[in-house]
Amino acid sequence: MLDMKFLRENPDQVKENIKKKFQDHKVKFVDEVLSLDKENRALKQKADDMRAQRNALSKQIGTLMSKGLKEEANEIKEKVQAMAEDLKAAEEREVVLLEEIRERMMQIPNIIHSSVPIGKDDSENVELQKYGEPIVPDFEIPYHTDIMNRFDGIDLESARKVAGNGFYYLMGDIARLHSAVVSYARDFMIDRGFTYVVPPFMIRSDVVTGVMSFSEMENMMYKIEGEDLYLIGTSEHSMIGKFIDTILEEKNLPYTYTSYSPCFRKEKGAHGIEERGVYRIHQFEKQEMIVVCKPEESADWFVKLYTNTVDLFRSLDIPVRTLECCSGDLADLKNKSVDVEAWSPRQKKYFEVGSCSNLTDAQARRLKIRVNGENGKYFAHTLNNTVVAPPRMLIAFLENNLNEDGSVNIPKVLQPYMGGKEKLIPKK
């Protein structure tokens, strides 16, 4: 959410930013907010004047009563009573205006960084850099669920009976590999100075509306029927929510956390064959990283965060690349975002395995996360990034470490988490 003062002083910039995100239908919100804000400020001034006048008249009543001028005092009492009714009406209108302003402000997107490329959707994202040599072996690489089946490692049919499409059973070596990757990612981030956290897996609605836009909420979140609780789509939600309505001491910044959680997503819409299997699913596990920092430090932290993901994937012998997300591919709260994509030798192209975002003070303003600094209070900057999100990450791992005989190499860094195994040997 933008600063109201910034919107008042820069309405044309806010409108232009909306257009750069190809959300022209939201341009009207700027003028509506300014109109409502003008009315609200005038009403607030009027209410303040009435309060001051009421207080002055109340003092007169006491003075008149002490002098025995009861009739004059009663006349003023009637004025005060009438004023009280007007003041109540003004206060009630003020509540309505503030809610209408907030409703619109919550839909106006964050100002994007000047370096963000302008484009309508993810097809116009811009490649930044490649890491590692993408290799296509001279043998055929099966679809990822077929690789898993060779190890008796997946059961989609039973999962459909139990929970429907978008769920899975991972078993045996594949299930162990899944857990090994998450554990390795946890220790990788701890070694980089992040504090490990296991957060709540459900959050209240005030946290949901604080951490994401309305469109994201509708497309992602599962609500618990009859309760003010939602299943998290990523642990970033509850991790940033941890700081809701708090005043942090500047000397304690930055807060750097790496968190584990299951994640639950609706994943609405139709998806192609490459997004079946365990690519786009309703339930998965994830190691996340979040940072709460000073505004002047968020740009540096942004680079550090996606570099962590690149380094982790390279340590597992997986080639990756980074993509700068274009304006139309940025969620409303994001100032800047970089996707990390892993190489798929089967598809001969890269696919997304993580996303790093700098939300500047947009989340903090919604959640009231303030910092007590030397020169007064200000809103913190928040960032988040995926470390790993298996089982999607397993697709990249299996394809890039598969041998012609069907075995899968285990990189040295992962071997301690796999009982010392150097290879997985298929059963079929």
User: Which tens digits make up the pLDDT trace of 175-196?
Assistant: 999 999 999 999 999 999 999 9
Q: Does the residue 114 lie in any domain?
A: no
Lowest mean pLDDT among 35-39, 163-167, 211-215, 424-428: 211-215
Lowest mean pLDDT among 38-42, 45-49, 65-69, 227-231: 65-69
State whether 97 and 206 are in the same domain. Answer: no
| 195 DSSP assignment | E
State the first-to-last Cα distance of the chain, in angstroms, to the nearest integer.
54
State whether 129 and 94 are in the same domain. Answer: no
pLDDT tens for each residue of 72-117? 777 777 777 777 888 888 889 999 999 999 999 999 999 999 999 9
Structure-block tokens of residue 115: 């370096």
Structure-block tokens of residue 369: 């996360």
Which residues lie across from 205 on neighbouring strands?
Answer: none
User: What's the order of all strands across the beta sheet hosting 369-373?
Assistant: 246-249, 369-373, 376-379
Q: Does the residue 16 lie in any domain?
A: yes
pLDDT of residue 275: 58
pLDDT of residue 270: 47
State whether 89 and 221 are in the same domain. Answer: no
Domain holding 90, by residue range, is: 4-105
State whether 408 and 363 are in the same domain. Answer: yes
CATH number (domain holding residue 44): 1.10.287.40
**What is the C-alpha separation between 390 and 408, in angstroms, rounded?**
17
Q: Give whole-number Cα distances, 165 to 48, 76, 88, 263, 264, in Å.
A: 59, 72, 54, 16, 13
pLDDT of residue 79: 79
State whether 158 and 201 are in the same domain. Answer: yes
Give the global pTM: 0.89
**Domain stop point among 46, 80, 105:** 105
State whether 253 and 191 are in the same domain. Answer: yes
State whether 138 and 265 are in the same domain. Answer: yes
CB 174 within 8 A of CB 148: yes
Q: Does the residue 190 lie in any domain?
A: yes
As a whole-number percent, the residues of the chain with pLDDT over 70 amount to: 98
Q: Does the residue 117 lie in any domain?
A: no
Q: What angle do the packed helices 172-191 and 298-315 form, to 10 degrees?
A: 140
State whether 255 and 323 are in the same domain. Answer: yes
Does pLDDT of 361 surpass 90?
yes
Q: What angle do the packed helices 11-20 and 27-66 form, to 10 degrees?
A: 140
- Per-residue confidence band for 268, with pLDDT thresholds at 50, 70 and 90: low
Q: Measured in whole angstroms, how far is the alpha carbon of residue 137 from the centre of its chain? A: 37
| 386 DSSP assignment | E
pLDDT tens for each residue of 19-30? 999 999 999 999
- Per-residue confidence band for 269, with pLDDT thresholds at 50, 70 and 90: low
State whether 198 and 62 are in the same domain. Answer: no
Q: Does the residue 112 lie in any domain?
A: no
DSSP string, 62-77: HHHHHTT-HHHHHHHH
- Per-residue confidence band for 364, with pLDDT thresholds at 50, 70 and 90: very high
State whether 50 and 167 are in the same domain. Answer: no
Instruction: Over range 399-409, report the average pLDDT.
Output: 97
State whether 72 and 133 are in the same domain. Answer: no
Arithmetic mean of pLDDT over the chain: 93
Q: Does the residue 379 lie in any domain?
A: yes
pLDDT tens for each residue of 291-349? 999 999 999 999 999 999 999 999 999 999 999 999 999 999 999 999 999 999 999 99
Domain count, the chain: 2
State whether 181 and 211 are in the same domain. Answer: yes
Does pLDDT of 231 surpass 60?
yes
Q: What share of the chain is helix, strand, coil (3-state, %, to 5)?
A: 50, 20, 30
- Per-residue confidence band for 272, with pLDDT thresholds at 50, 70 and 90: low
CB 365 within 8 A of CB 386: no
Q: Does the residue 115 lie in any domain?
A: no
